[in-house]
Homo-oligomer: A and B are copies of this chain.
Amino acid sequence: MNQGITAKDVAKLAGVSQSSVSRVYFKGATVSQKTREKVLAAAKELGYRPNEFARSLITNRTKIIGLVMKGVQNPFYPQVLKQFTTAFKKLGYSILFVYTNNDEIQQEDIDTLLNYNVAGVIITDATLSLQANEDLFNNRIPLALFNRKIDGNKFYSVCCNNLEASKQIAQYLLDAGCSNMIYISGNENTSTSIEREKGFVTVLKENKVKYKKYISDFTYEGGYKTIEKIVSQQKVPEAIFVANDIMALGVMDSLKKHQITVPDEVKVVGFDNIEMSAWPSYSLTTWEQPINEMVNVTVDYLTAEISEYSGQTQNIEIDGRLIVRKSTQNG
């Protein structure tokens, strides 16, 4: 039975003081080799385990990272969750998982994070109110937005270079001879959707290419229904750039249903490079988000801020690359 085994018990058995036991487990404290061994032996015998809550109470620090996530249905995010969890585990941090239904994280969830005095917060696929940000700021809790950016320099954010990516996608489609295109957006007001549109449109306008925008919601069903709508309203264009992969899969399925062939009649490009985009049923051309690198940058920032808080913010953008598959190219 471990319940109830405290540093005092270990101290007694090891014949040292409770302070010494504490020093053995507190990184940075100094203990002689001899007592360290005695303590560890006694601790092992008793099955001692330092009480995290008592520690946090004293140090006013925790080894908990709050991870807020919305789009768990989009396979991109479970992947992100896995990578963050793995990276932080190596550093001795645990993940407090917060699921939010809303595009903007609710005060209730911020309260949870504050109650547990998390060492840092990551928000993916969602944003937060100014009040929420202030709460974190006042408590000197570092925050990183992941795959979402907020205008200005008030937040630290990590994205892939959406603007550059979508420019290159536009150029790629132009080079392929397309002269009539559609952009299907995700939820409006999300930075990812906006920037992907912006880069895309910039290049199209420069080249005086006709395009149209349809608004959707980053879901498979959204992509599917958007094609239904397009088909009922106009001639299918030569290329469709869809703001993320999961939507693009819906787009492709809907096109197939209407017997519109890809890539012959219309080329389709997605964004994210989720696993499914490589599946032969789809073979979707897409933009690879360098998740691994994005996660590492975020982790580095947070750990740096945790060890010495500066509150400095920055918008980080990391390059990805185009993955060409059959949805844009025969062969």
Contacts and interface: CB of A to CB of B under 8 A. Distances in A.
Given A95-B96, A115-B50, A279 B2 contact: no
Interface string A54-75: 1011001010100100001101
Interface string A246-260: 000110110011000
A97 interface: yes
Interface of A: 1-3, 49-54, 56-57, 60, 62, 64, 67, 72-73, 75, 77-79, 81-82, 85-86, 89, 94-99, 111-112, 114-117, 135, 138-140, 220, 249-250, 252-253, 256-257, 275-276, 279-282
Contacts of A281: 252-253, 256, 281-282
| Number of this chain's copies in the complex | 2
A87 to B, nearest CB: 11
Contacts of A77: 78
A97 B99 contact: no
Contacts of A140: 3
22 contacts: A2-B135, A3-B140, A49-B114, A51-B57, A52-B117, A67-B97, A72-B81, A72-B82, A73-B79, A81-B97, A85-B99, A89-B99, A94-B112, A95-B97, A97-B97, A220-B275, A220-B279, A250-B279, A252-B281, A276-B276, A281-B281, A281-B282
